[in-house]
Structure 1
Amino acid sequence: MASKRPLTIGEYPGQPVGTMYDSRREAMEKHVHTQSGRGIDARIDQPGAGAICPSGGYVDDIDHGDWILYTGQGGRDRKTGRQIANQSLDDRDNAALVYSHNHNWPVRVLRGNGADIYAPATGYRYDGLYWVDDYWTEPGADGFTVCRFLMVQLSPEEALAWVDMSDYPGQDLPTVMRWSRKRPDRRQPPTGRGDRVRRLRDDSRSPLPPATPPRAEDADGTSSQTGQEGLPEGNETPGTTVSMVYRKQRDSSVSRAVKALYGDRCQVCHIRISLAGGPYSEGAHIRPIGEPHNGADKVNNMLCLCPNHHVMFDRGGLHIANNLFVYERDGSPVGPLNVDSRKHLLNPANLAYHRRLHGFS
């Protein structure tokens, strides 16, 4: 049984972190997880995943509170709980988590009793938003291929962008988010995602892929990747560093609408990138948003581009004339920009601003 309500990405109004539910049905009625019999909350008619429910169903799951190594959907014997068939990233539910990773959408986590020490003693508990930080496939404990999703909890600051505080009159963010500090034996959240992943890779319980691929061995046992003349040898075990990222607030619905208008095909090269989670493209602002440029987060200031042409456009490797013809930096013609003249009316002032910004007359 599944809810007919639209899939909600981010926090659901009136359901703050730490809310308890007696059953999956109650959680479903409150729209925290809208699938009663599946671990991944995904729909056929909508992209992305709304939530996951770690509840001890898969033997390959690992839960450390602020990160979860979550096993994908499929191939599990419901009677024994063991894996009896391979999983695939092309499965609808697994592909939904891949889509959320590709588009930086957070996923709600509803923990069920019996999952691990971080699970509630009874019932179910909403434990906040997590990023799909990484994904891959590998042999599981039962010898079958499983899909692995590294889920990393958002900090309160990161989660703020996905909470509408007007839904909680008279309350402050810490009260709404609660950050689950009341969980027994829960470690304090680290300072950044880089530190979280570093600790994860150092953890003996975590079967993350190695940070660098193993070296290929020649027939005589010597390595064939010891370096090439004139190139740096590199580092066999590179470390990590902690960084803080500030994201500009933007309306993701604008980007989604423009990308949907062109079927995720780049407006410059017409290429459509196909991934396990579905097609991938990027929304590019013509006049950058935020200070000092102060561009608008509106459809008339947005393009649908592939990653290559997004970087070229943002760095001045491409510019667009008022007649919507695209040129490279040296003036070489690329071709006409694909534009839906009925629905996608670009603001010429934004195009002119972009040309001035990168030194084009």
Structure 2
Amino acid sequence: MAFVDEVCAEINALRVDQSSGQPARHQPITLLWAIGRAAGGQPRLVPWSDARPALRRLLKDHGRPGSDPAPEYPFVALSRSRLWELDGAAGEVPVARGSGVRRWLDEHSPRGGLEGRLYELMATNLVARRRVVDTLLHRFFDGAEPTLLLGAVHLAAPIFDGFGLVPGIAVGQVFPNRRALFDARVHRQLQAGICGTQERGAESIVVSGGYEDDEDHGDVIIYTGQGGRDERTGQQVKDQELTLGNAALVTSLTTGTPIRVVRGANGEPAHSPVSGLRYDGLFRVEDYWCDHGQAGHLVWRYRLVQIADTQLPDQPLRAMLPVPEGEETPSRLEATIRRIVRSTAVADYVKRIHDFTCQVCGIRLATPTGAYAEAAHIRALGRPHSGPDVAANVLCLCPNHHTLFDFGMLSIADDRSITDESTGVSLGPLREKPAHQIDPAHLAYHRAHHAQLRRDN
């Protein structure tokens, strides 16, 4: 990317009029117009007679208010940089000032456009093009909204707020180093393994074998949070805290926002690239807990599950709703990726037994397509909980109380009394049906697990 660095340095060194207190936009708008032509596969060099009306319109609509929309100035002035080429102009190119410039252009009718190597880069390399455009916007349009301008020069891209898939970047793409990852916006941290904030959640993580407690099973990753390591030896020397990136991953669990996963060459060999860093798509955080790591210190751990691009078909219900057997150890099914197969029959049985009514609040949600409720597993199915997918481990809850229960904000005692853990207030007894018996061992596990999380926090 050395050439891109040179281009960005040349952009930052452009000499433009600043008599108004702000840099003029004639040259950057002309460059953006030419970059848009490269991105669209249009000819590199454009005759002045063709360029003039297009540039005049852009300068009038997007230049600084009150400025003269005179395209002859940037068309000539840019040739003094290494970014622009004028072809077919005999003799010395005039200084870009005064009415003589327009006469000279009309007489010689040169063709103008990006320098050849720069044109090829802008036409073929999306990452480089984005970086050059960002440099232009930062240097000359700081504080302005460039959306309309980018649309006018055909450089508008899908809005990317840092989360989810990165426009123009394919899953499986390999990058040589962290700088390239950063430039491509796949992982916007040059050193940290977690990119994100507690307020917004995590955008991405890097799994590269840096933490001895990491487990990479392909579609499921048990990821160790950041912090507590000796920078020289890489060994865990103190407890981790639920701050910074660690807190960001908890926020992602709360919001359900996907996280980009990048694997490095030093990770689990079966799932890592031979060299460099590979973008491996989107995962969701399904659980988190605090545990003693191999070095004896407390570490935060997160269970991330790859987002499947296919869904398994629902299983039909039996007419008389007999209690389904379920699975003591939920099986795995080979699809595009491996994921835990939840029994649709178990979930539907529990919801129908309770007539889609929340066992906590007694609310039955009616929708245009019928009643709606959610099946909440008391002891989660995935590692490290390994709960069974059976009716005795499932509750019928409304979406709100499902979320609160999953985060441990509701606890259910063996006598089925419900407590709001945020206030300590009793919410009354759990609503039960004789045909649906809950295993108290799963309730005890749920209480103990979340009580430990609260103590660790």
TM range (shorter): 0.3 to 0.5
Compute the TM-score of the two structures, normalised by the length of structure 1.
Answer: 0.45
Which structure has more helix as a fraction of its residues? 2
- Which structure has more relative contact order (CA 8 Å, sep 6+)? It is 1
